């Protein structure tokens, strides 16, 4: 199942976000305190992953200014915090049709929501019980069914009609056995689709791997499936590091010869170096070294007993290696992030990643590397929704995948400021300048790069200046004098897109009365 849109309501600063669409990778951009974290947290409560549990709590999460009026505002049912729509994919439709026949699902879109005080998500599925009944009768070879059986409108009704027949054929008994524990069709379809519903993993703090760890302690943490406290997360990540490198902790601790012992450590070092530096372009002269040796008694516990694993980084340019913990904060963050999410990518289970402000300690170029990792490694298997303030975390070639988040205020006739709450919009060109700053920064950087490439570049203030220059240049050309050369490549791309309908960009603008959508012009800008 793929998440296609969401709608957050009654959650902290979000009275009503308005429905917003999401893609495979979606970026939320907004000022501090705009409500980006609230949006991601609300989504996380829909179907949280066990390792990142999130739960709706009325006193904490319901908008505080309305808390005392909760029962008056929601007299019939608890408030809805998040509503989502999902596309049911082909394999999931086939799973339903294999049991209840073609047409049992009357829509490939499913709505799933979460209310306060509810133990599980609430599903809304469009089903067609009449088609399911007809398909089951055909599947079990029941022909010439009695009127009561043929007119059954749901599974319990079909079971009752078959059971009421005085005489039953083998086919009737087989279908009765199938229907014996079945509830209404919508309930049965929900049970079939539930395993395909992704869980949500929300991350606001990003663990950093420890530089050294006791092997016996790592084994215990590796076997631990529940959440760990803050003090042991960095050690747990060290255990996951060995898993990421496909090296067994048991193999290391039970190795009886130096060569086999060294080979496994070298394998871990090489594998992790290759994987990490595929995306870390800041310094290509680094290499990850993994060492395991006997503890030194003067080291602090638990590093003073047993076997100790140490991660070090070798700088081949300076011919020096340093403990992992002494590298730059950006590198340690990037390394730890790739280890953690590399393992998530391997789970083979549907997971949606909700990342709150990833990559804050990274250089702008390293943030671009992180976006590349999102696209190439995570996005093929998982949807990613993340928030950012950084222009370098905004994909300039995919601005339409960004969502603008604003905490809006209404000023009444008396000048009083009244909160409207957090709103989400896909209109990336129609909001205030402060909110749009990361998008403008990303687009400006991208444009400036193309300006640097050009041998002779003329930058003007606005479209009218271009029109004047084109008119003057055309007249100079008509008189046989030096004129501004046309961008033949741009014109070629323009005509490939629009054919002969418009000859120039100016004609296109004029025909559309300046109402040009960015998706129309972005391929040839």
pLDDT of residue 494: 52
Do 222 and 251 meet the contact criterion of CB atoms below 8 Å apart?
no
What mean pLDDT comes out for the span 216-241? 77
What's this model's pTM, rounded to 2 decimal places?
Answer: 0.78
Q: Average pLDDT of 434-444?
A: 74
Give the residue with greater pLDDT, 321 vs 39: 39
Q: Where residue 350 falls among pLDDT bands split at 50, 70, 90?
A: confident
pLDDT for position 454:
58
The 10s digit of each residue's pLDDT in 388-421 is 988 888 887 788 888 989 888 877 778 788 788 8
Average pLDDT score over residue span 349-356: 90
pLDDT in tens, 49-64: 987 889 999 999 999 9
Helix (H, G, I), strand (E, B) or coil at 25: strand
**What is d(CA 247, CA 268) in angstroms, rounded to the nearest whole number?**
6
Structure tokens at 352: 């949606």
Residue 8, pLDDT > 90, answer yes
Kindly state the greatest CA–CA separation across the chain. Answer: 102
Cis peptide before 302 (omega within 30 of 0): yes
**Concatenated DSSP letters for 136-158?**
HHHHTT--S--HHHHT--SHHHH
N- to C-terminal Cα distance for the chain? 35
144, pLDDT greater than 60 = yes
More confident residue, 262 or 431: 262
Does the pLDDT at position 500 exceed 70? no
**pLDDT interval class at 428 (50, 70, 90):** low
| Highest-pLDDT range among 15-24, 277-286, 292-301 | 15-24
Predicted pLDDT at 520:
46
Between residues 221 and 506, the one the model is more confident about: 221
Top-confidence range, 91-95, 241-245, 361-365, 458-462: 91-95
| 525 — pLDDT class (breaks 50, 70, 90) | very low
Mean pLDDT of 82-91: 96
Average pLDDT of span 2-29: 95
Query: What pLDDT, in 10s, does the model give residues 98-124?
Result: 999 999 999 999 999 999 999 999 999
The predicted structure's pLDDT at residue 495: 59
The angle that helices 230-244 and 258-276 make with each other, rounded to 10 degrees, is 100
For residue 50, give the nearest of 206, 199, 241, 234 by alpha carbon.
Answer: 199
Q: Which of the residue ranges 204-208, 237-241, 343-347, 406-410 would you say has the lowest mean pLDDT?
A: 343-347
The whole-angstrom separation of Cα 331 and Cα 11 is 35
CB atoms within 10 A of CB 435: 19
Give me the torsion for CA of 33, 388, 232, 242, rounded to 10°.
Answer: 170
Backbone angles phi, psi at 463, to 5 degrees: -60, -35
Angle at 205 between CA 200 and CA 210, to 5 degrees: 115
3 by Cβ neighbours in 10 Å (0-12 / 13-18 / 19+) ranks as buried
Residue 319 has pLDDT above 90, yes or no: no
Residue 145 has pLDDT above 90, yes or no: no
SS3 label, residue 344: helix
Please enumerate in sequence order all residues whose Cβ is within 8 A of that of 52, keeping only pairs 6 or more positions apart, or say none.
44, 200, 201, 202, 203
DSSP string, 378-427: ITTT-EEEEEE--GGGS-GGGGGGEEEEEEEEEE-TT--EEEEEEEEES-
Tell whether the model's pLDDT for residue 505 goes beyond 70.
no
pLDDT over 50 (residue 515) = no
Pairing status of strand 351-356 against strand 383-388:
parallel
Name residues whose C-beta falls within 8 Å of residue 130's C-beta, 6 or more positions apart in sequence: 153
Q: Rounded distance, CA 481 to CA 424, Å?
A: 53
Q: Lowest-pLDDT range, 64-73, 285-294, 362-371? A: 285-294
- Residues forming a β-bridge with 85: 5, 111
pLDDT at 19: 95
> How much is the pLDDT for 447?
66
How high is the mean pLDDT of the chain?
83
The string of DSSP codes covering 263-282 is HHHHHHHHHHHHHHTTT--S
**What average pLDDT does range 287-313 have in this prediction?**
86
Q: Give residue-wise pLDDT tens across range 379-391.
A: 988 999 999 988 8
Distance between CA 116 and CA 65 in Å, rounded? Answer: 17
3-state secondary structure 306-329: CEEEEEEEEECCCCEEEEHHHCCH
Confidence of residue 36 (pLDDT cuts 50, 70, 90): very high
Other Cβ atoms within 10 Å of 208 Cβ, number: 18
Residue 282 scores a pLDDT above 70 = yes
- C-alpha span between 182 and 159 (Å, rounded): 9
Query: Is residue 68 very low, low, confident or very high in pLDDT (cuts 50, 70, 90)?
Result: very high
CB atoms inside a 10 Å sphere around CB 319: 8
Type and span of the H or E element at 45: none
Determine the Cα angle at 196 with ends 194 and 200, to 5°.
Answer: 90
Inter-residue long-range contacts of 192-197, CB under 8 Å, 24+ positions, other chains counted: 192/95, 192/96, 192/99, 193/1, 193/88, 193/92, 193/95, 193/96, 193/110, 193/123, 193/125, 196/1, 196/88, 196/89, 196/92, 196/95, 196/350, 197/1, 197/47, 197/86, 197/112, 197/121, 197/350
């Amino acid at each position: 199942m793929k998440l296609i849109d969401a709608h957050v309501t009654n959650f902290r600063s979000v009275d009503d976000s308005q429905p917003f669409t999401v893609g495979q990778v979606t970026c939320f951009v907004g000022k501090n305190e705009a409500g980006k974290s609230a949006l991601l947290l609300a989504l996380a409560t829909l179907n949280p992953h066990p390792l990142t549990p999130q739960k709706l709590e009325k006193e904490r999460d319901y908008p505080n200014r309305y808390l005392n009026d909760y029962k008056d505002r929601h007299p019939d049912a608890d408030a809805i915090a998040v509503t989502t729509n999902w596309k049911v994919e082909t394999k999931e439709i086939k799973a339903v049709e294999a049991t209840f026949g073609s047409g049992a699902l009357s829509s490939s879109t499913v709505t799933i929501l979460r209310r306060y005080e509810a133990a599980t998500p609430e599903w809304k599925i469009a089903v067609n019980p009449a088609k399911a009944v007809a398909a089951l009768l055909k599947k079990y070879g029941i022909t010439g069914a009695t009127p009561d059986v043929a007119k059954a409108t749901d599974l319990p009704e079909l079971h009752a009609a078959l059971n009421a027949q005085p005489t039953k054929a083998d086919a009737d008994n087989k279908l009765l056995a199938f229907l014996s524990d079945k509830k209404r069709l919508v309930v049965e379809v929900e049970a079939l689709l539930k395993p395909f519903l992704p869980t949500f993993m929300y991350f606001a703090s990003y663990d950093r791997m420890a530089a050294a760890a006791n092997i016996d302690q790592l084994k215990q943490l590796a076997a631990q499936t529940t959440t760990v406290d803050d003090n042991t997360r960095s050690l747990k990540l060290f255990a996951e590091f060995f898993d990421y490198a496909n090296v067994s902790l048991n193999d290391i601790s039970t190795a009886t010869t130096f060569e086999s012992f060294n080979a496994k450590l070298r394998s871990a070092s090489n594998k992790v170096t290759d994987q990490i530096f595929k995306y870390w372009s800041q310094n290509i002269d680094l290499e990850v070294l993994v060492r395991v040796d006997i503890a030194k008694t003067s080291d602090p516990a638990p590093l003073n007993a047993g076997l100790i694993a140490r991660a070090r980084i070798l700088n081949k340019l300076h011919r020096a290696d340093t403990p992992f913990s002494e590298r730059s904060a950006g590198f340690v963050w990037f390394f730890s992030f790739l280890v953690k999410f590399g393992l998530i990518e391997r789970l083979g289970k549907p997971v949606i990643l909700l990342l709150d402000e990833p990559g804050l300690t990274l250089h702008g170029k390293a943030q671009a590397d992180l976006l590349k990792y999102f696209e190439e490694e995570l996005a093929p298997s998982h949807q990613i929704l993340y928030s950012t303030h950084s222009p370098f975390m905004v994909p300039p070639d995919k601005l339409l995948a960004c969502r603008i988040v604003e905490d809006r205020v209404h000023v009444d006739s008396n000048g009083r400021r009244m909160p409207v709450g957090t709103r989400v919009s896909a209109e990336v060109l129609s909001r205030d300048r402060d909110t749009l700053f990361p998008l403008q920064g990303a687009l400006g950087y991208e444009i400036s790069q193309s300006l640097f490439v050009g041998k002779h570049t003329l930058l003007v203030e606005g479209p009218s200046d271009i029109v004047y220059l084109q008119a003057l240049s055309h007249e100079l050309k008509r008189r046989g004098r030096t004129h501004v050369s046309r961008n033949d490549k741009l014109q070629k791309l323009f005509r490939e897109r629009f054919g002969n309908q418009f000859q120039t960009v100016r004609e296109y603008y004029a025909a559309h009365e300046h109402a040009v959508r960015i998706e129309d012009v972005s391929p040839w800008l």
